[in-house]
Every structure is written in C-alpha cells, then in structure tokens.
A and B are shown apart, each in its own frame.
Chain A
Amino acid sequence: MLDDLEATARRAAPAVQQWSVRGVVERSEEISVRQGVVQAPRLARDAGVMVSVVDRGALGYAATPDASPAGLARAFARARELAHAAAGRSVFDFGALPPVASDGRYASRVERPAAASTLAQRIDRVRRASDALRVDERIVDWSATLYTAEVDQLVVTGAGGRVEQRVRHTTPNLQATARIDGVTQTRSAYGQYNGFCQQGGLEVLDRALFDTEGPRVAHEALALAAAPPCPSGEMDVLLMPDQMMLQIHESIGHPLELDRILGDERNYAGTSFVTLDMFGRYRWGSELLDVTVDPTRGEQIATTAFDDEGAPTRRRHVIERGILVRPLGGDVSLARARALGVALGGVAAARACSWNRPPIDRMGNLNVEPGTSTLDEMIAAVEHGVLMRTNCSWSIDDSRNKFQFGCELGQVIRDGRLAGIVRNPSYRGVSATFWRSLAMVGDASTFEVMGTPFCGKGEPSQGIRVGHASPACLFRGVAVFGGEA
C-alpha cells in the first residue's frame, strides 16, 4: 500500500491551504503459552490512511482503509467537508501553521528478525520459557508470551514533505502466580503490562534474559505468597527502574503534555497542575533530577527520527537540575501557546497510535538520566525504608498530582542493609512535592530501558507505545503501606 501512496496522494489532493497523508501498515504476531498449553497464535495486519486537510483556517481528518485513487479522493473530500464545517469555530487558525516539508527516513536496528525463524521455532522457545516457570505445585498459574510487530509509516505533505519510518519491536513476558495458605501473589519478569518492550528483533529476548528468568520469577512469586505485608508509615523508598518508569510516566510525562495544559483532555484524560507560566522557573524536583526526551537510544520503543506530523525529533531536557524547562508539545500545540502569548520550546511530540487516529501530544522516550550513586550506596544510605520493584497498580488524579502506586515486590531496608521480602508494597504522594524528595540517583549500572506498549489518552481514545529508561532512585519520607489494612 505504501509503495504507491505518495503518487496517489499527490494526484488526489485537492486545492486547499495544507494537506497531509499518513499511511500505516502494521503486522504483528502473538504467541502465548499458559499453564503449559500453547494458545492459538494470533496474527494481525492493519493498514490504512489518515488524510488531513487545512482549509478556511480549520482542520479536518478522514481515515480510510482504501488507499486506491478513488478511496483517497473520497477521504480528501470528507476531510475538507469537516474542515469547512469547523471553519470559524476552531480553537485556532490552523492555516497559520508553517507547512511541513521534512524529508527523511528511519528504520529500527534489527539483528535477528523474527521472520528468520519458523513459527514452530518461536512457539517452542516460548513453551520452554513457560515450562521453566513451573518450579513448584504451588505455582497455580503461569504464562510466557512473545509479541512481535513491524510498523511501516509514510507521511506525505502538500508542501513536498516525505517521511518514511520502519519500526520493529519485540515484547516478551513471563508471569507466575503462587498460592500458599490462601494468599495469592503474582510475580512477573518485566511487569504484568509488558514493560520490556523494545525495538529490535529476537535479540530483545536475549536482552530480557527470556530463556532463563522463569525460575527466578516463580521463586519470587512463592516467596511473596509466604511473605508478610509491607509495613506502613513514613519512610524512605528506593524505586527500581521497573517502578521508576511508571513514576516518570504518570507524574512527569502526563502533566507535561502541552495539549493537557491547553485543556484539550479535560473531558477524558484530565488536565494538569502545570500552567504555561511555570516553564523555565518552576522547581519540579531536587537538583539531582534530569529528565530528557531521548530519541537517540536505538533499542527504546518510541525512538524515531520524526514525529507523526513530520517534525524532526531531538534529544531535549524537559527538566534540568530539577527545574522545569519545556513541555511535551508538538508544533500545533506550540503554535497555539504562541497565539496565547507564550513562546515555549517543545519537542516533536505529535503522535498517533495508528492510521485511524489523528496525532496528539504524547510522550516518546521520556527518561530520567543516570546519577552517580551505586545501588549499594543507596541501600546503605537508608535507615528505615523499602526497596520496591515492578509496578502492578497505578492511580493518579486528573491534574496528575495525588498518586498511589503499588508494586509486585518489596524488600525492607533496615540500617543500611536489605532485609526480608514483603508483599503488596505501595506508596502514595503528590507529584508537585514528591520529586523534591529525590535524595540519590543511581549510576549507569542501575540504569534500565523499559516502556509501556499501552499509554491511554485522547478522544477518540489512543493507546500508544512509550519508552521510559531510568536508574534506581531514592526518595525520603514517603507514605508507605501494604495490603489489607
């Protein structure tokens, strides 16, 4: 479909202020083995085109799975109708946007494409990983999953722009549930919601230790089912990267989305406690906090060379030495802010989950930069606290302030030493003050690249892939609690 798209689009495009066409072809495969039984493999191929038209100062979109000349002509006509219906009633004069004329390509680095193996080989590998989880009769449920996807996208604009991006990614998972004396606990290798999603082929499985992690996961599930609940009270928390990714996502990423700050999401995903006047001066966290949008890590899930409107991506700080620097805003949102009299530096953040949804401001790869402390140094610095691994529960208010998060595994830290495992470790706080309690940031040896394949937002709703990399981080004086209560 994408081979002919540019020529077809340029022939079909009407005479309007601006137009663009974004074609997407996505192929995926999911192999899952649960309780030792191979589930039916699920293959998918999605393909379609989103047409956008700016005319009479308004913007209209039309999505069609029909990329033929007649199909694109109909989509252009429908998008123009919608633009005309919105003319004079839009939030912004979209005709004032500078035309996009980017020209470039991006392709994931793939060492071992999934397609180079047979389906039987991939099934066998997942089955062996699943079998390794069954270490004990008290493991009552266990599963291994392998998800691979190829996403090809072509953006063509009326100003001569052409951006072609080919992303390949792989997501493994391992999970075990133990039940002992009526207590049930689930432990996963990378989070129950697929936190080890990375670009690449089957080499991602090696990076994830997919073939060997099963027994550790299962033994930790057993240990958790026999462990006491996490203690309650105000204490230090040492968050490992597979919990930090969620902390970054919910209490830095979402509140910094410029479209939220401009109010677009207030009916659904919510608003933000951040206001336009905070950039450049607001202290978000301690001086140890450096947060970047980083499209330079080839393995990270959201790495691309351009966003979905064709703006080039670059590595940028959004928080530097604790000070808020810039929002997560694409070109449209930045122009809307300028129209309100606020000039901001943004990042190329306009992203869409697929061909059938228009781009909105999204996180890409949003990372906390490594510091200088080793994990041992951070543990030694805690008199009374809990180390927490792997998010399993998340909730935050619609302004992205009052949060409560839970993890799969906790480990008490007492007088600078790790003590016993505890179950249902959870903590709560307020974004606006939590990051100021950041006391130590782990060095590169504690740094891990994680992400989520499903970040929800938007009307119509969009679930999108987002990357988060982080070192371990130590926070002082946090409200901690366990289960029951």
Chain B
Amino acid sequence: MAVLTDRCVFDALAEAACTATAGPERVSLFLEAESSDFIRFNRGAVRQATHVDQGEATLTLSTGQRRIEATFALTGRLDDDVAALRAERTALAAALADVPEDPYLLLPQEVTSSERHDTGDLPGADAVIAAVTAATRGLDFVGFHAGGPVVRAYADSGGQRHWHHVESFHLEGCIYRERDQAIKQSLGGTHWDEAAFDERIATAAARLPLLALPPRVLQPGAWRTYFTPVAMAELLGTLAWGGFGTHARRTGTSSLDRLARGAATLHPGVHLAEDTARGIAPAFTADGFAKPACIPLVEGGRASGSLGSPRSARQYGVPANAGADEEPESLRLAPGALREADALAALDRGLYVSNLWYLNYSDRQACRMTGMTRFACFWVEDGRMVAPMPVMRFDDSFLRMAGAGLVGLTDRAELIPESSTYRQRHLRSVTTPGALVEGWRLVL
C-alpha cells in the first residue's frame, strides 16, 4: 500500500487523471489525505486509541459551461486507484451530457503552481500515551491527541499543480475539579515537546484550587468582561459563519449586513483579514484558484472586503478569492495596544472568560449571538481572580461588543487551530488577541 500522504501518490493520480485532452473537456483533481493517530483520554487513562489512514480524490469534469464532480475514497493500492480514477473520468464524461449549462461556472484562467511541504517531529502513539498517563497521574484528566501528516493538493488538465503538506499534532485536555469545573490547556505544533506538555499540566493543576473557592453567582445583566484569545476565537468563528461571504452580502443574509451597508461600524481598532499567508491552510482552493496572501475584511471598524467563490465571482463580478463556502480559513484579528500582562488590571472588576461554548446566532441580521461560558471563568476584583463563576448564557450583538462596547484588544494575537475533526483533520485557524468589553449581556 502506498502512503496516501506521499507526494508520489498525488503525482501518479494527477498524471492519470489530468492529462490534457484534445477536446474542450477540462479535468481537475483535488486530493485530501491524512495518516492520523487519535488518542482520547478520560480520567487520565486511554478511552480510545485509533489510527486512521484515509485519502479522498475529488475529480471534476467540465465542458463549456457544464460541470460534474465525484469524490471517492482511495485505497492506497496505486494501480487500483489509477484505474478507478480513469473509470470515474469516463463515467463522469458520460453523465455530463445530462447536466444543464451553468452560467456562473468559472474555472481558473491562470496556470499557477505552489508547494508547501512542512515536516515535523511528531510523537508516536505509544509515546503520547506514556507521556499523558504519567503527567496526569492522580488528576481527573480528559483530553484528546490528534497527530500525523495532512495533505491537500490540486491538479488540473491546464497544468496547475498545488501541494500542501503539513505534519502536526494537537493535544488538548482538561483537568477537572468536579462536575463542570475544569482548567483546559492545549499544546500543538510540528515538534513534540514533552517537557512543554508536562509544564502545561502542572500549570493547570496549580490553578485548580481557584475553582474550589466559593463561586460568585451572577445575575442576568451587563458585565465588564475580559475574553481570552480562545474565547475570542469562538466569537470570530461564529462571525465567519456567513459573515463575510459575497453571496450572503448580496442576498441580505450576512450577519455583517449592517456593517457592509454602513448602517453600523465597529471600534476603529478592529482590523479583520483573511490572512492566508500567516495561517496554516493551503494557499489555494479546492477549485484551483490561488488565494491572495491577505484579504482585508474589516479596516478601522468598517467593512472593506468580502470572500467570493468562483460562482459569486462570475455572478457578481467580484474576485474569486475563496472556496465554495465563502468562509475564511485563516481569519485574523489584529492585536491592539493593551498589554496582555495588564489585562486583568485593566478589567479591574468583572468577568474573566477563558472559554465560550456552543455559539449560534439568536438574530442573524442584527449579528446577535448567544452562547455559554465554559470551564475556568472567574469573577475578578481589583485585577485578581477571586471566585469561579457558574456557567452563564449570553445574548449580545457582536456589532455592539466589537463596536461601542470594545474597550481594547491585547497586544498579542494567538493562533487558535480548528480542533474538531469532522470527516478529517482541518487546517482552519483563527488568530486573535484577547479583548476587554464593557456591558457584556448575560441572560440566564
């Protein structure tokens, strides 16, 4: 079996599928592959240890304005996969006649190629299990490790070749005190550092006694609040869900519709961008379009750009600068002037929110979001954490929180990688500083 994340597999598949044709037919291939270890822990012991090898090829065929695509699993038996690819191409060509013309079909017009091939020093599953069970002995630790190579690659019959290969790991976990009280930590990157993991566990364990203090029960109302970068990533991740897409903007369904129309502005210190150059996602889309290094989305608190799929590009006459979902993959909020070390002092009296959870829009058009606090959130007096707070529900407009309510952003932006692994490991991230907000609205 060939290793599906090896470059030679992609080259062989591209050679088989994307040979130039004499006719008007265009063919493209998008490869998603990984070889991953997934280890989940509960109460400091192994719950499930899983290894997954997988690879999917999406073959797209178009003639004129007709297009059809098929995604299928690769076996790793290269001869079989090449044969399956050729058979799929033949079947798609036959089916294409049944597909009506699409006036908004847009294919890459330029032949570009790119390559990013990062290697790492990753731990084996046995090393992760040994390290985690040793470091968390005597603690109620629950967590998850995901690691291994991930590939995204694109080829087409026009000669384009894009290759994106990373070897990374993400290990995150909570040390629980009791019920829903926990300190969450994460460690990720391309080079495993057991000492760094041990240090994070020790730091988290040292904070557990704070959770044992008598809780501060809060009433619904407006509260001065500091959000950590991890909490901010939840807010910005929700904003990414339909906030920046061109189609949503043009149909009035964008959560940033008011900002885009100039009916609302954010704090002048808010600068948001799709910052592909500083993210971990590929610099190309599944349709073979090269992504700009940076697309300003909000500048000085005002809307400045949107993300357009190839379809929107053709329909609305805008640049094709995003994937089909028109969502950012490397959203970045620029840091501000508040020294991170001074954040609690600047908060003085109010809420320290480490984590948010399960956000959704409660009124999309008003950009109003709801969600919950989670894990180690504290009541702060005189710039010190003095009591844990029970989980609380908020319901507040992001336009207000990042507008009139924003006091300041901290001076260090942290890259928060997407940790969910639906279908596959993902390469999205949000990079953000912490934020100090006045009048955050709690409702339950």
Contacts and interface: CB of A to CB of B under 8 A. Distances in A.
Nearest to B373: A397
Contact of B49 (A39, A61, A120): A61
A65 B54 contact: yes
Contacts of A399: 179-180, 391
B109 interface: no
Given A66-B77, A141-B251, A395-B371, A83 B421 contact: no
A65 B73 contact: yes
A62 B71 contact: no
A5 to B, nearest CB: 13
A313 to B, nearest CB: 22
Contacts of B360: 393-395, 406
A48 B144 CA distance: 23
B365 interface: yes
B254 to A, nearest CB: 9
Nearest to B357: A398
B172 interface: yes
B102 interface: yes
Interface stretch (A263-271, A294-302, A366-374, A443-451): A263-271
Interface in A460-480: 460-463, 479
B261 to A, nearest CB: 9
Nearest to A270: B357
A160 interface: no
Among B68, B73, B74, B144, the most chain A Cβ lie within 10 Å of the Cβ of: B73
A148 to B, nearest CB: 14
Contact of A404 (B62, B125, B362): B362
B67 A393 contact: no
Contacts of A394: 360
B146 A47 contact: no
B246 interface: no
Given A65-B75, A123-B99, A177-B252, A262 B42 contact: yes
A40 B357 contact: no
Interface stretch (A11-19, A71-79, A195-203): A71-79
Counting chain B residues whose Cβ lies within 8 A of the other chain, the interface size class is 35 or more
Among B69, B252, B361, the most chain A Cβ lie within 10 Å of the Cβ of: B252
A177 B253 contact: yes
A43 B69 contact: yes
A428 B50 contact: no
Given A45-B72, A71-B1, A267 B172 contact: yes
A41 B74 CA distance: 20
A68 B77 contact: yes
Interface residues of A, number: 85
A123 B97 CA distance: 12
Interface string A424-456: 101010100000000000000000000000001
A42 interface: yes
B54 A395 contact: no
A460 B146 contact: yes
Contacts of B46: 58, 86, 89-91
Contacts of B179: 271, 399
A63 interface: yes
Interface string A182-198: 11101000000000000
Interface in B29-83: 36, 38, 40, 42-43, 45-56, 60, 62, 67-77
A463 B368 CA distance: 26
B184 interface: yes
B435 interface: no
A460 B52 contact: yes
Contacts of A83: 49
Contact of B421 (A41, A459, A484): A459
A85 B129 contact: yes
Contact of B420 (A397, A426, A461): A461
Contact of A398 (B142, B391, B392): B391
B76 A402 contact: no
Contacts of B77: 66, 68, 71
Contact of A141 (B73, B173, B253): B253
Contacts of B365: 183-184, 483
A460 B295 CA distance: 32
Contact of A356 (B52, B67, B143, B180): B52
A65 B38 contact: no
B251 A82 contact: no
A357 B40 CA distance: 12
Among B50, B363, B421, the most chain A Cβ lie within 10 Å of the Cβ of: B50
Interface in B142-188: 142-144, 146, 172-174, 176, 179-180, 182, 184
A46 interface: yes
Nearest to B2: A66
Nearest to A142: B251
B104 A398 contact: no
Contacts of A37: 102-104
B126 to A, nearest CB: 4
A44 interface: yes
B318 interface: no
B395 interface: yes
Interface string A401-413: 0101010000000
A216 interface: no
A22 to B, nearest CB: 13
B359 interface: yes
Contact of A459 (B43, B62, B73, B144): B144
Contact of A266 (B51, B72, B176, B359): B176
A175 B284 CA distance: 31
Interface in A370-400: 393-399
B438 interface: no
A463 B423 contact: yes
Contact of A82 (B50, B92, B99, B176): B50
A119 interface: yes
Contacts of B126: 81, 85
Contacts of B444: 402, 404, 428, 430, 479
Given A64-B53, A71-B76, A397-B374, 19 more contacts: A43-B68, A44-B70, A45-B71, A65-B54, A65-B73, A65-B75, A71-B1, A123-B99, A123-B100, A140-B252, A141-B253, A184-B253, A267-B144, A268-B419, A393-B360, A402-B392, A460-B50, A463-B422, A484-B368
Query: What 4 A-B pairs are tightest by C-beta distance, nearest first?
Result: A483-B363, A184-B252, A459-B144, A85-B126
Interface of B: 1, 4, 36, 38, 40, 42-43, 45-56, 60, 62, 67-77, 92, 95, 98-100, 102-105, 125-126, 129-130, 133, 140, 142-144, 146, 172-174, 176, 179-180, 182, 184, 247, 251-253, 257, 357-363, 365-366, 368, 370-372, 374, 391-393, 395, 419-423, 443-444
Interface of A: 37-48, 58-68, 70-71, 74, 78-79, 81-83, 85-86, 89-91, 118-120, 123, 127, 140-141, 177, 179, 182-184, 186, 262-264, 266-268, 270-271, 356-358, 360, 393-399, 402, 404, 406, 424, 426, 428, 430, 456, 459-463, 479, 483-485
30 contacts: A40-B105, A43-B68, A45-B71, A59-B49, A61-B49, A61-B51, A63-B51, A65-B76, A66-B75, A85-B126, A91-B42, A177-B251, A184-B251, A264-B42, A266-B182, A267-B40, A395-B371, A397-B358, A397-B393, A398-B357, A402-B444, A404-B395, A404-B443, A428-B444, A430-B444, A459-B38, A460-B36, A460-B38, A483-B368, A485-B363
